[in-house]
Amino acid sequence: MTDISPLFEPVRIGAQEIRNRIVMAPLTRSRATEANVPTAMMADYYAQRADAGLIISEATAVDPLGMGWYRVPGIWSDEMIAGWRGVIEAVHAKGGRMFLQLWHMGRLVLPDYIGGQLPMAPSPIAAEGETFAPRPEGDDGLFLPMKPYVIPREMNQSDIDSVVTAFGRGAANAVKAGFDGVEVHGANGYIIDQFLQSKTNRRTDAYGGSVENRTRFLREVLDAVSEQIAPDRIGLRISPTSERKGMGDEDPTALARAIGALCRDYGLAYIHLIEPIASGFMERPDKPVLNDLAAAFGGTVIQNGSFDAETAAMAIAGGQAAAISFGRPYIANPDLVSRFREGAPLAQPDFDYAYVGDRKGYTDYPTASD
Ligand SMILES: Cc1cc2nc3c(=O)[nH]c(=O)nc-3n(C[C@H](O)[C@H](O)[C@H](O)COP(=O)(O)O)c2cc1C
């Protein structure tokens, strides 16, 4: 049997000494208010999971124009800051640590969420597939309607500047709310990823073409964020090999190396790499970039994607990652750390309630000892 004790060793991640190597991955659960304000129910949910070494919050919109998902939280108003303060105080009261994930959806926003306007993106190329539309007035069913993504409008310099400013404001507001740090969401086909990957960035100006140019937007975001919070409290999440929603890059290894090098220059606390080791949430890549990324960065890597306790412990023992994040296992196992420690079986989530509902399928999963 694999020795899983490496999971329970403390580790330093930037400015934080965290008590174990089990990180709660960001999970959008759509339990904010319809006005995108974090709720007391969210504070309960995160506090239940506070014994994770580090919690990364669900994706949190930095700007109304970058928000395209029903009942997700934002971080652009005082009311949102106050809502998040309730969450972080509940997590801190249980000795937990938590970073806020800063998010802008770019082309993945449906016009329905932004007053009928077109969403913005580096290039006017629609994402593949469809997504959740807002709940129509008077509809009280469980499931949300789905609509296809639209062709976004190409961002001009003032759009770019305003999104960069919004990331900086999001970081400043996260500090006001009391978060231990922030994670910049550069993964999963959202705006930063849209600039990074060659298939979604066809620009011919300083933000497109070479890898150097495609990482420019990310560098500007990191400049804005690191003016508000020290780099050893900033992480970056990336998924350079993911092709979901019509993403793709001509050379993910070169892109990963460039991202690693720039994160080293900024002195970021960590890079959070989504690169599944088995197919599940997304496909396992033919050519993983982990080693190239880690060599170029030289700092702390948190790895994610279809891990269990044994594969996570092996990755940590083998030195390929300092910590492993778990997404789906955290939905139905608020006590994931103690279940791993005790070898207790994991509960299976009810995915019907992953992105909709209230307390059911959210705060009502029991611990193994309940
Ligand atoms: C319900 C659900 C919501 C998610 N929301 C986010 C999110 O807000 N931000 C993010 O970066 N990834 C999000 N993800 C991706 C997870 O963080 C993680 O990368 C994915 O589940 C793979 O890890 P796992 O195999 O441990 O589940 C979400 C995944 C699921 C299943």
Residues 6 or more apart from 248 whose CB is under 8 A from it? 197, 198, 199, 200
- The strand pair at 120-121 and 153-154 is best described as parallel
Atom of ligand 1 nearest to the CA of 274: 19
CA pair distance 83, 173, nearest whole angstrom: 11
Ligand 1 pocket, residue 26 CB under 6 Å? yes
CA pair distance 308, 324, nearest whole angstrom: 9
- Establish whether 46 is a catalytic residue: no
Q: Is 15 exposed, middle or buried (0-12, 13-18, 19+ CB in 10 A)?
A: middle
The number of distinct structural domains making up the chain is 1
Which residue's structure tokens are 């350079």? 240
Residue 174 lies in a domain: yes
Q: What is the pLDDT of residues 161-183, one digit of tens each?
A: 999 999 999 999 999 999 999 99
Phi-psi region of 298 (alpha: psi -120 to 50; beta: other; left: phi over 0): left
Is the separation of the CB atoms in 325 and 304 below 8 Å?
yes
Ligand 1 pocket: which of 31, 57, 281, 336 to mutate (most atoms within 8 A of CB): 281
280, pLDDT greater than 90: no
Residue 254 lies in a domain: yes
Q: Residue 320's pLDDT is what?
A: 94
CATH at 102: 3.20.20.70
Residue 301 lies in a domain: yes
Residue 278 lies in a domain: yes
Q: What is the pLDDT of residues 84-136, one digit of tens each?
A: 999 999 999 999 999 999 999 999 999 999 999 999 999 999 999 999 999 88
Residue 118 lies in a domain: yes
Question: In 10 A of CB 370, how many CB atoms?
Answer: 7
269 pLDDT band (50/70/90 cuts)?
very high
Residue 364 lies in a domain: no
CB hemisphere CA count around 261 (13 angstroms):
10
Residue 320 lies in a domain: yes
Ligand 1 pocket: which of 28, 191, 245 to mutate (most atoms within 8 A of CB): 28
Q: Kind and range of the H or E element at 61? A: strand 54-61
What Å distances lie between residue 88 and 177, 256, 258, CA to CA? 7, 32, 33
Residues forming beta bridges with residue 272, ordered by sequence position: 237, 302
Question: In 10 A of CB 304, how many CB atoms?
Answer: 26
Residue 366 lies in a domain: no
Query: Domain residues for 140?
Result: 5-353
Q: Residue 135's pLDDT is what?
A: 86
Average pLDDT over residues 204-223: 98
CA pair distance 107, 122, nearest whole angstrom: 9
